[in-house]
Structure 1
Amino acid sequence: MKMDFKGMGRRSFMAMTAIAAAATMLGTAVSAQAATIEEIKSKGTITFGIVTDQPPFSFINGSGQNEGYDIDLSKLMAKELGVEAAYVPITSANRIPQLLTGKVDMLICVLGIYPDRAKVVQYVAPYASISASIYGPKGITKIEELSGHSIAVEKGSSMDKSVTEAAPKDADIRRYDDASSAVQALLSGQVEYLGSYSHQFVGVEKAAPGKFVSNIVLKTEYLGIAVAPDSKELGEWAGDFMSRHEKDGTLTEIYKKAFGTEFPKVPASMEGITFTKK
């Protein structure tokens, strides 16, 4: 399989991914001390790691302000704590280090829920679900038909992992630094296909109505809110926040504003995952 990294094949790439994951796990031992709720209230802000290019989850609007489902959810959290919400833009590559080194207090950033990731972060609860698919021109319906074709993915993302594992060995997987760049690669004709999520395809459809379709659905993925492993107090508070507002309908109200649908059915438990939400 052709890779962005010179001389690196599929097995080498997966090995490097495993090494990077192990290094991240080791990093938890030297991570910054997580802020307590009292400290957050004392400084007057809670800092969230967010994406800025994935509407309707989180994006920069025409006025240059953060907007979206993640933003509305985080603002409500901040309001209940009696503090201001501060934001740090993150990428798939740096979101975990930003959390573990105390640069952010919480991640609300389209973060997939996986057992291996649960070893290095503390998940609060699932807060959304998305479909992971291969998008492109009509015609291909099976993953093996992507043999010899180019596919854009966001480097280091769960989509990168899914496409790498599923695609034929001679597929040309091209990795881009962020989701927007991967989308633009499809729209500009640099690649034939895009490995992406259902919410990201909304932008593709707006830019090129009817030109591309969901060829292959790889899986349904649940997204979670996360805190650092030593943020026990904040994690439990956030778990209670999610539980209360799922019951009183607030989550549906916020979700419907962004997506136009009811808050999705999300699992109360997942194998290999511990949530702080009860």
Structure 2
Amino acid sequence: MRNLQKLGRRSFLAATLALSASIAWSAGVRHANAATVDEIKQKGTITFGIVTDQPPFSFINANGENEGYDIDITKLMAKELGVKVAYVPITSANRIPQLLTGKVDMLICVMGVYPDRAKVVQYVAPYASINAAIYGPKDSPLSKVEELSGHSIAVEKGSSMDKAVSDAAPKDANVQKFDDASSAVQALLSGQVEYLGSYSHQFGGVEKAAPGKYAQKIVLSTEYEGIAVSPQSKELGEWAGQFWDKIKKDGTLDKLYQDHFGTKFPDMPATMDGITFTAK
């Protein structure tokens, strides 16, 4: 993870995140949704920012319903609060502005945990870990980032992978940026690009569409994904941290992770440089 953090992310995210925060706060934006636990209970709904195309985290099933690990967590939280759950589909580019302007109460959306983001959001806890990697044809000899020279790579625009690949790849590599993860995957499958910068949990979709054709070529690092609230929602963040500690202790989280990833909840860092969590 430290390697990925060092791939020039500060210069990429610091300005955009600071700008988002400045716009939201200096303009005195009033949260459209509840920011405190009592307000959420009075309203009767808690709203989450989620992705819809990243199984097993969050996706739309055959019945047109939201499903996945992230969704199960949101439902547990809503049940604990005694309220209904609502969802707002987000992208890597708009998720933090959606949170800071009150369009959502909380983000559970496969968002990486990094110090620069921690300056503008409050992380509750790391809730999953994934490998950031380069995928390509199974018979490709690619084994080092330097060998991407002159080759095309698809990434999701605005994601951690976007900056990781853009900074790590040679200057003459053709990094093509797509609006969402699904479009980046389709670019690989259709032959529009030669390689894909993506995460381990997303490769299942590639393998399903083209069995045996593609493989992981280079592992860039391990990334931790975090649950986040607005810094203005301090009470909600503290509540979410206590809730997280509870489901870790009583075994609920182990079962949930086993159901979706086939293993118990992995060890996660209790602290990280430049980052604080509301969970213990």
Q: TM-score under structure 1 normalisation?
A: 0.93
Q: Which ranges of 4 or more aligned residues in structure 1 deviate by more than 4 Å?
A: 13-18
Q: What are the within-5 Å matches in structure 2 for residues 207-226 of structure 1?
A: 207-226=209-228
For 2:267 and 2:163, the matched residues in 1 are separated by 25
Q: What is aligned with 1:73? A: 73
Q: Does residue 136 of structure 1 match 2:136?
A: yes
Q: CA deviation at 1:20?
A: 2.2
Offset at 1:257?
Answer: 1.0
Q: Within 5 A, what are the aligned runs for 1:48-197?
A: 48-137=48-137, 138-197=140-199
The percentage of counterpart residues that share the same residue type is 72
Query: What SS class does the counterpart of residue 24 from structure 1 fall into?
Result: helix
| Residue 60 to residue 232, structure 1, CA distance change in 2 (3 Å) | same
Letter in 2 for 1:102: G
- Look up the SS of the partner of 2:243 in the other structure: helix
The residue identity in structure 1 corresponding to 2:170 is P
Match of 2:22 among 26, 30, 38: 26
Please say if residues 27 and 100 of structure 1, whose CA atoms lie closer than 8 Å, have aligned partners that are also in contact: no
Q: Does 1:275 align with 2:269?
A: no
User: What runs of 5+ residues in structure 2 fail to find an aligned partner?
Assistant: 1-7
Worse-superposed segment, 168-177 or 35-44: 35-44
Distance apart, 1:25 and its partner CA? 3.0
1:242 corresponds in structure 2 to 244
For residues 57 and 29 of structure 2, the distance between their equivalents in structure 1, rounded to whole angstroms, comes to: 28
Q: Is contact 2:18-2:120 (8 Å) kept?
A: no
SS at match of 1:268: coil
**Closer/same/farther in 2, CA of residues 239 and 18 from structure 1, 3 Å limit:** closer
Superposed CA offset, 1:154-182 (max 9, x none): 00000001001110010000000000000
Q: Distance in 2 between matches of 1:248 and 1:128?
A: 18
The 3-state SS of whatever aligns with 2:115 is coil
Q: Contact between 2:152 and 2:194, CA under 8 Å: does it hold in 1?
A: yes
Query: In 1, are the aligned partners of 2:13 and 2:117 still within 8 Å (CA)?
Result: no
Deviation at 1:17, TM superposition (A): 5.4
Tell whether the 8 Å contact from 2:21 to 2:100 is kept in structure 1 after alignment. Answer: no
Q: Write the distance in 1 (CA, Å) between the matches of 2:15 and 2:227.
A: 25
SS in 1 for 2:183: helix
What's the secondary structure of 1:261's corresponding residue? coil
Q: For 2:76 and 2:218, how far apart are their aligned partners in 1?
A: 36
- Which amino acid letter does the alignment assign opposite residue 148 of structure 1? G
| Deviation digits for residues 227-270 of structure 1 (CA, Å, limit 9, x no counterpart) | 00011111001001111111111011111111111111111110
Alignment counterpart, residue 259 of structure 1, candidates 258, 261, 268 = 261
